């Protein structure tokens, strides 16, 4: 448990609903000047005023883009969960003050590989966009974004759709694996994979890369983006 974290704050300068389930937020803060930004950072945002309400819950959101001149961060917040964070985002309006812990992250860009697998769902899409945009142009990328509906897919910050998107509904992790197996390119050199998003799919694909493709753990960044409620 972390203690004595300095709570930072910023102003919501724009909030826009991109589609049924995704809100795009632009947050401006002088506190962002203090960070040594690395693509792949996340922001732990308090679901309310973190300065006056002790023990307020936070939710982690990926930094979709950082613009250092005006100190503006973009995030994409999804509402598929219908949970606390999803309800909170729908109450926000321009000018609101948001509270967060200093940005940091573990799913950072790794530029040492020759080629990349970027695999995830809509909730992790902004994270993968940020990694992809910051990889140097000579890197080869295999992408696989799975969505429940075509309507859930939103473009990158520059309006582009740089990935391959697949509608898979119902989401069956083994089906995602089969499709990836069928599509896999023949890249040479060292690979690195980001496997993010829906928990069961992340676990299935992580096992596939480790056990069938024989990739080392240090070539994999796998992260379920939320915890499953246990079946009763």
Ligand X SMILES: Cc1cc2nc3c(=O)[nH]c(=O)nc-3n(C[C@H](O)[C@H](O)[C@H](O)COP(=O)(O)OP(=O)(O)OC[C@H]3O[C@@H](n4cnc5c(N)ncnc54)[C@H](O)[C@@H]3O)c2cc1C
Task: Tell whether residue 228 is a contact of ligand X (CB under 6 A).
Answer: yes
Q: Does 126 bind ligand X (CB under 6 A)?
A: yes
Residue 99 touches ligand X, criterion: CB under 6 A: no
Question: To the nearest whole angstrom, how small is the minimum distance from the Cβ of residue 174 to ligand X?
Answer: 19
Nearest to 77 by CA among 59, 93, 65, 100: 59
User: Residue 177 CB, nearest distance to ligand X (Å)?
Assistant: 19
- Binds ligand X (CB under 6 A): choice among 27, 78, 98, 193: 78
What letter does residue 193 receive in the DSSP assignment? Answer: E
The answer to the question of residue 169 lying near ligand X (CB under 6 A) is: no
Exposure string (b/e) for 60-92, b if CB count within 10 Å is 16 or more?
Answer: ebbbbbbeeeebbbbbbbbbbeeeebbebbeee
Tell me the number of residues near ligand X by CB under 6 A: 25
Given candidates 129, 146, 154, 225, which one binds ligand X under the rule CB under 6 A? 225
**C-alpha span between 111 and 131 (Å, rounded):** 10
The single residue among 13, 18, 86, 157 that binds ligand X, judged by CB under 6 A, is 86
Contact between 103 and ligand X by CB under 6 A: the answer reads no
Regarding beta strands 22-28 and 72-78, do their DSSP bridges make them parallel or antiparallel, or are they unpaired?
antiparallel
State CA 133 to chain mean position distance. 13
Q: How far is CA 75 from the centre of its chain?
A: 9
Dist CA 180 CA 141 (whole Å):
13
Nearest residue to ligand X, by Cβ distance, number only: 83
Q: Could you tell me which stretch among 27-35, 80-88, 135-143, 176-184 binds ligand X (CB under 6 A)?
A: 80-88
Q: Which is nearer to ligand X, 120 or 191 (CB)?
A: 120
Choose the stretch contacting ligand X; rule: CB under 6 A; options: 82-90, 133-141, 176-184, 200-208.
82-90
Return the bridge partners of 14, or none.
26
Q: 98: which strand partners?
A: 10
CA 207 to CA 195: how far, in whole Å? 11
Answer for which of 9, 60, 140, 210 binds ligand X (CB under 6 A) is 60
The site for ligand X (CB under 6 A) is made up of 42, 59-62, 75-78, 80-81, 83-86, 107, 123, 126-127, 223, 225-229
């Amino acid at each position: 448990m972390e203690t004595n974290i300095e709570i930072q704050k910023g102003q919501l300068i724009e909030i826009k609903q991109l589609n049924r389930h995704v809100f795009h937020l632009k947050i401006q803060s002088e506190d962002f000047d203090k960070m040594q930004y690395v693509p792949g950072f996340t922001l732990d945002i308090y679901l309310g005023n973190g300065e006056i309400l002790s023990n307020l819950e936070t939710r982690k959101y990926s930094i979709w883009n950082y613009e250092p001149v005006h100190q503006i961060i973009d995030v994409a917040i999804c509402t598929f969960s219908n949970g606390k964070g999803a309800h909170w985002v729908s109450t926000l309006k321009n000018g609101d003050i948001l509270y967060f812990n200093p940005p940091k992250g573990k799913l950072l860009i790794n530029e040492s590989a020759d080629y990349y697998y970027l695999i995830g769902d809509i909730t992790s899409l902004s994270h993968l966009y940020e990694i992809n945009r910051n990889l140097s142009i000579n890197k080869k990328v295999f992408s696989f974004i799975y969505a429940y509906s075509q309507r859930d897919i939103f473009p990158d910050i520059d309006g582009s759709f740089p990935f391959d998107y697949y509608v898979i509904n119902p989401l069956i992790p083994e089906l995602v694996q089969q499709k990836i197996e069928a599509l896999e390119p023949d890249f040479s050199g060292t690979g690195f994979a980001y496997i993010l998003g829906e928990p069961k799919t992340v676990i299935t694909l992580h096992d596939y890369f480790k056990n069938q493709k024989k990739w080392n753990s240090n070539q994999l960044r796998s992260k379920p983006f939320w915890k499953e409620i246990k079946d009763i």
